Amino acid sequence: MSSGAGKSVVVFDYGFGNIRSAERAVARAGARVEITRDYDRAMAADGLLVPGVGAFASCMQGLREARGDWVVSRRLAGGRPVLGICVGMQILFSRGIEHGVEAEGMDEWPGTVGPLRAEVVPHMGWNTVRAPAGSQLFAGLPPEERYYFVHSYAAHDWELADTSPRMRPPQVTWSTHGEPFIAAVENGPLWATQFHPEKSGDAGAHLLSNWIETL
């Protein structure tokens, strides 16, 4: 793919996430990519990708220690695109609850990330999603396409009301494993996926290309 030619993406390295897989996937999608936690480079990039693997509280602590929460907030304040993946999506919500312990998130979106209620946990493997009409993230992808998930926790409710009628309302994509959960969000410059596009083959590469095209 070449749609991202000339676009720069920083994969933010705060100690959590499949950063090398993300780096390769973004490069495959056509962008120039580097892994760093340097503030200036993260702010200057056309797009910032925040991965995440592990526990909500640990990822949030690591992000704060690397000043990543500040980087994300400053980029969004300036309308600069950010993409969160897996726990990198979960920590964008107000809070997470794991094993009865509650931790504060970035509070970009209201809501709580909690355990999946399903017969088999973790939710590991390929699954379909239900993207809204007009989604830019899933543009050109068939509704029966499958994406790769690995998680035991998710956001189950969307609490953010539509804002100004002059702004495009948030678009929320859902999936189901035991019960419905949020699989992706497109909200102005802030996009996120619960699944791993970097592990989702050609579909994931196409999805990342869609994001890069908007940078």
> Distance (Å, rounded) from C-alpha 53 to C-alpha 11?
14
How many Cα atoms are found within 13 Å in the side-chain-facing hemisphere of 201? 9
59 classed as catalytic: no
213 classed as catalytic: no
> Distance (Å, rounded) from C-alpha 20 to C-alpha 27?
11
CA 162 to chain centre: 20
Dihedral angle sign, alpha carbons of residues 149, 52, 188, 48 = negative
Dihedral angle sign, alpha carbons of residues 105, 93, 62, 177 = positive
Q: Which of these is catalytic: 86, 108, 145, 177?
A: 86
119 classed as catalytic: no
**Any idea how long the chain is?**
215
Cβ contacts of 98 within 8 Å, gap of 6 or more: 55, 56, 57, 115, 153
Q: Which of these is catalytic: 23, 108, 145, 198?
A: 198
Instruction: Please state, in angstroms and as integers, the Cα–Cα distance from residue 87 to each residue in 24, 30, 142, 196, following that order.
Output: 19, 24, 25, 10
Q: Which of these is catalytic: 123, 151, 177, 196?
A: 196
Active site residues: 86, 196, 198
